[in-house]
Structure 1
Amino acid sequence: MIWMQLVIAGLLEIVWAYTLKLSHGFTRPAYSLMTLIAMGASFWLLARAMRALPLGTAYAVWTGIGSAGAFLAGIILLGEAASPIRILAAGMIVAGIVLMKLGS
């Protein structure tokens, strides 16, 4: 259950990063509101997960999911560049998440 909360928190980090981009610096109210709601829910679930998981593990997994997911969202939804080096970097983030999970 704790890991599920952490994964959902990471997925919500992707949501808020994406909607933050779409908010154009908080000038578009609907996207701005979605950003704030997703941020709040993400932080709340992260805080709940940190009750049972070590700080370093929880934070690294949360940011890793958010980073890799925002990278993919940028490519898939926003048409951002997918160079080999950027793909390798995202793969290394995912590998780090897996290693954190295995090590805890």
Structure 2
Amino acid sequence: MTRNNLSEHLAWLLNNISRSPPTAPQLPAAVELMLVLVFVLVLVLVLLLLLPPPPPPPLLRPRTGSPILSLQILSPPGLAGLTSDHSPAAAPTTL
């Protein structure tokens, strides 16, 4: 290639490059969707970390009486008055 041909070729190349509009590289739709999902997930995690913690649940104790009294009621001597002498198997059945 001669110097004249090279200069003509470069002039033609520069002329054609300047005429074509610049294009941004396009990402595939799946990659764009994945980027959006990752962004939303990170946003939700950051918001959850910024929220104040929930208040602790109330204590599960009876409001009246002491725990020892509650245990005495549930002990076998306390249940003795609640049981009956009749067993369900000994009850007569009628058909």
Higher alpha-carbon Rg:
2
Q: TM-score range by the shorter chain?
A: under 0.3
Query: RCO greater where, 1 or 2, for CA within 8 Å and sep 6 or more?
Result: 1
Output the TM-score relative to the length of structure 2.
Answer: 0.27
Give the number of the structure whose residues are more often helix, by fraction. Answer: 1
Output the TM-score relative to the length of structure 1.
Answer: 0.25
